[in-house]
Structure 1
């Protein structure tokens, strides 16, 4: 059992800072060298919160999707195993439940271009949306050693290409893609009362000034005298991601019983998402690629920004391959001695006259047990949990309001709050959350989230929208 001393004053300040009003998002965009070369398998965000009688989980992939990225638009890979993992209780991070997503894309229908048929003839057009290929997915639930298919051959919502495609290919009158994409054609009930699922492209709900942030942490609010050109901007504005959305009855994730109100280690979950590829990949002479052997994990995400801001560059690929149960043993030093503080010190952010001058980097870059306590929901303000395991999982006590770090809600509600994750974690890491605020100057997403499932905003349209739109 892991017992870490708490910093009572800091813990209270942490809970206040992390409950500040805002919108919730996490980022794991291109955070490691290897996965940056494999965007279809790259986890970006993970949200999970209690909404009424359900647990909502949104696992997103494929960072920096340009909406106009045709003619071969972004999509899930048929060669990747996408998984949502749920551990239960205080003593284990092994999966109590696993939801596996596999994709299948039909081939373009072949035809003879010399015959000059009228489109859509299937295969000889220049436009992929006319060529007949469709992608479907199957969800398999793993629980107690049993494998159960709970949704088979469900259609993936298509890309938001433009009004002409909406009308002539999708058959949408008036170009109404938003309602079409979340209609019953794509919003599916899972078998056995397992809840609902939705899969497809959405607006990237992460918002932050990534550009200035990775210029040696030169975010405008952290500079005493920023240059005139240092204007905070949402670097992900106008980009899409691909999302796996689940809405699961609470009893299904709580071992068969509805959760009871109030803090409880036993009804606390640990949620994370991953992507895996086959160990052996063979490129055939005809261009076909085959995967052989066991699955090997290549990406994961749990808590926000862990592999981005806490794990050192030399271990980021290793972190993506590791299981959360081994995080304290393998990467505990990174949590206790955050590199971001050292980098900020090198960049001069703690020097006299700078906004962080009041803080002692020497105290902030060593023995940060407050980070482990906070992510483990140990402070009294977070329920006073005594969890025996620590790893990169998003903890959520089903009997408590879903306010980060106890889950992360994307939209406001009566029993959950929103949090500007970027500001909250910068504040926690760089100041110890002692009442100050360290942020990036970006306070909201570029699109309004939906009030209903699947909650993320509609995917941006390639023909008339995107990150270049004023």
Structure 2
């Protein structure tokens, strides 16, 4: 039980945390973090665009944690001839903060290299592909995976193979085998995957049409259905992620993904692009939906370039969120009173009895025994308490549904973060909230395709054109 005597239960904490996330996600967003094309700069460069981050205790390997980050939104199946490679000139990172100072204590970094066997054909593959080294696979990618800490960088994988884009049944009759072959073991335990997958996010994105056209009865279209994305996943023992390697004393971590690119670009007369000058962060994502609806459009690119330890500059968008005001104007549901200090705890600190008005211990790094409270810095992260075991009966609403193993305690693939965030933003955790808040949602409750039961868990990529679904 994540509950102290005399404090509200974890359900209330989750609700508050979700509210913060919702506020962050339903208000104009100040992020360079990119969730499905919400920030101006990265919307024009989809290879750099983070779409979602997931962090959960692995259901079939509960001594490990799985971290998943996705890039490249709205990949249409059959999108040849180049399909959807990772960028060769970018660094794709998953960052972990174990001591709460809003700085990465551990970063997993993937960088990619592309190869063509034959540049005198337009084809991605020149015949049936049955393995990752099949000579009929004309284009392929490899990657280097590094673990970066204050002590330096360690190469975990060199020349790892990326699962190719799924061209179609004729070209890749056993794509599942290709995807499985791209799972790579890590030294010291764990494994990683890089490749294409079904986009696991499910939601009705018509929120931008005056909040579902001013009529919640019109919700229910899964905007992301049928699209693919590029996935990076890693599964490692809890001790690798925990402060001082002790997941018992220090079970809470914060997670976010970033994309960086070289600062200077030179384009020659045949359109070759040469980049140098050091890495510059251009995209960032932690909690879902924050990029899209919490940060205002004029500051989204700024947020994407900002490190979490500087998040105080965006505090006003959490304490005075835009979404509840919009809901009040369109649906006449009263917005909760501001400033929303409950959302500060949920969004910037994680839930803990000493963090703010939501007196529940759930997922703040302050709960780690070896954390220095004076060094703790509020920041936007997806926080996971690794001591909470996987649920035998996962609930799509996570903590709001009484399931402490789910969102906002980390995020599982099947968690319905849109419904949770909307209800929390509208005050479902606050006393005497309007009854209408309890049932708010987009009526898209599950992913169209079942997730896999083993790492990397994401479903295989779609092959049917979106307009045929």
Of the three residues 185, 189, 194, the one matched with 2:185 is 189
Alignment pair present for 1:330 and 2:313? yes
Distance in 1 separating the partners of 2:208 and 2:416: 18
Structure 2 equivalent of residue 89 of structure 1: 99
What does the per-residue CA deviation read over 1:347-395, in whole Å, with 9 as the maximum and x for residues that have no partner? x211xxxxx3xxx22x34x211111222312245443857332212111
Alignment of 1:60-139 (within 5 A): 60-90=70-100, 92-106=101-115, 108-109=116-117, 122-130=118-126, 132-139=138-145
The answer on whether the counterparts of 1:198 and 1:246 sit within 8 Å (CA) in structure 2 is yes
CA apart distance, 1:342: 2.2
Name the CA distance, whole Å, in 2 between partners of 1:187 and 1:455: 11
* Counterpart secondary structure, 1:200: strand
Q: Per the alignment, do residues 290 and 189 of structure 1 end up closer, same or farther by CA in structure 2, a change over 3 Å counting?
A: same
1:154-209 deviations in Å (ceiling 9; x for gaps): 1100111112211xxxxxxxx22123312xx3110122x15100000000000111
Q: Any conservation in 2 of the 1:423–1:438 contact (CA below 8 Å)?
A: yes
Unaligned 5+ runs, structure 1: 1-7, 20-25, 110-121, 167-174, 351-355, 411-417
What does 1:398-437 correspond to in 2, within 5 Å? 398-401=386-389, 402-410=405-413, 419-434=415-430, 436-437=438-439
Residue 250 of structure 1: aligned partner:
238
CA deviations on 1:57-102 (whole Å, 9 max, x unpaired) are 0010000100111111012000111111111123x11111111110
> Which of 449, 453, 457 is matched with 2:455 structurally?
453
CA gap 1:194/1:147 in 2 versus in 1, 3 angstroms? farther
Q: What does the per-residue CA deviation read over 1:398-452, in whole Å, with 9 as the maximum and x for residues that have no partner?
A: 2234322221122xxxxxxx53100000111123445713111111111101111
Distance 1:249 1:256, change over 3 A: farther
Whole-angstrom CA distance in 2 between matches of 1:200 and 1:454: 10
After TM superposition, give the deviation of residue 17 of structure 1 in Å.
Answer: 8.9
Residues 231/143 of structure 1: CA separation in 2 closer, same or farther (3 Å cut): closer
Corresponding residue of 1:201: 196
- Distance of 2:427 and 2:243 partners within structure 1: 39
1:118 alignment partner in structure 2: none
The corresponding residue for 1:150 is 156
Distance 1:324 1:18 in 2: 17
Give per-residue Cα distances to partners, 1:137-170, cap 9 Å, x unaligned: 000111232211010001100111112211xxxx
- Who is 1:268 aligned against? 252
Question: Deviation of residue 123 (structure 1)?
Answer: 2.5
Q: Retained in 2: the 8 A contact 1:17–1:424?
A: no
The equivalent residue for 1:279 is: 263
**TM-score, reference length from structure 2:** 0.80
User: For the pair shown, which has the larger CA radius of gyration, 1 or 2?
Assistant: 1
1:213 aligns with 2:207: yes
In structure 2, the partner of 1:349 is 331
> How far apart, in 1, do the equivalents of 2:221 and 2:300 lie?
26
1:194 and 1:252 in contact (8 A); partners too: no
Show the counterpart of 1:371: 343
1:383 is aligned to 362
For residue 151 of structure 1, give the secondary structure of its aligned residue in structure 2.
Answer: strand
How far apart are the structure 2 equivalents of 1:251 and 1:9?
A: 30
CA contact (8 A) 2:220 2:443 kept: yes
User: What's the CA shift for 1:132?
Assistant: 2.7
Check the 8 A contact 2:252/2:365 in 1, yes or no.
Answer: no
| Secondary structure of 1:243 counterpart | strand
Q: Quote the Cα distance in structure 1 between the aligned partners of 2:16 and 2:468.
A: 33
Q: Does structure 1 conserve the Cα–Cα contact (< 8 Å) formed by 2:39 and 2:301?
A: yes
Is 1:303–1:393's contact at 8 Å kept on the other side of the alignment? yes
**Structure 1 residues 468, 339: CA separation in 2 closer, same or farther (over 3 Å shift)?**
same
Equivalent position of 2:14 in the other structure: 15
TM-score, structure 1 length as denominator?
0.80
1:126 CA displacement: 2.8
Q: 1:9 to 1:258 in 2, by over 3 A?
A: closer
Contact kept in structure 2, 1:150 and 1:194, CA below 8 Å: no
CA distance, structure 2, for counterparts of residue 37 and residue 136 of structure 1: 25
